[in-house]
Structure 1
Amino acid sequence: MKFELKTENYSNSFTNVLRYVLIIALIIIFCDAALKLGIIARHYQIEHKCRLLSLEKSKSNFRKLSNLTNLRSKQRIWEFCREVVK
């Protein structure tokens, strides 16, 4: 009698699990990087709009800053921009 043990199924399933774990890890890393880039871009937009507001006090600049910062009054926007531009 000859006895053979097939190990192909175990190694194949291990590589599949490892592949899925790596794919999920890459997705998490890319999503985290995308969120951080979004935060950086938003901060840059706020800083840029505050600098524009210090040069040109237009209604559109106030409106754009209001949308970005969720501040509604012009006085609060001015105070916020003073802190950002420092």
Structure 2
Amino acid sequence: MKFELKTEKENYSKSFLHLFGIVFFVTLIIILCDVALKLGIISRNNDIEYNCRLLSVEKSKLHFKKISSLSNLKSKQRIWEFCSEVIK
């Protein structure tokens, strides 16, 4: 008959490995969320710049609406001023 005894050293190593895995997973989630937020900001800025360039070529009501929704500006005059700063 063979007896096996578990030592405390094995329990500590398993709990440390488990804790390390949890910390790694949480860190990975935080980094991915940060990257997703930054990509959203970059996408929004590119969309604003693109629509401002289109607005400077073709003064369409659709372009005013798109820029208004992206930048939270309601006045056409403010949109023109905003786009002139963006295009510079």
Please give the range of the TM-score, normalised by the shorter of the 2 chains: over 0.9
Q: Decide which of 8, 11, 32 is 2:10's aligned counterpart.
A: 8
After superposing on structure 2, the runs of 4+ consecutive aligned residues of structure 1 that deviate more than 2 Å are none
Equivalent residue number for residue 68 of structure 1: 70
Structure 2 match to 1:28: 30
Output the TM-score relative to the length of structure 1.
Answer: 0.94
Of 29, 38, 41, the residue aligned with 1:39 is 41
TM-score using structure 2 length: 0.92
- Equivalent residue number for residue 85 of structure 1: 87
Tell me by how many angstroms 1:5 deviates.
7.0
Identity %: 60
CA RMSD of aligned residues (A): 1.1
Q: Greater CA deviation, 52-61 or 4-13?
A: 4-13
Write the distance in 2 (CA, Å) between the matches of 1:11 and 1:32. Answer: 31
Which amino acid in 2 is paired with 1:77?
A: I
Q: Does 1:59 align with 2:81?
A: no
Where in structure 1 are there 5+ consecutive unaligned residues? none
3-state secondary structure, aligned to 1:76:
helix
Superposition deviation, residue 28 in structure 1: 0.2
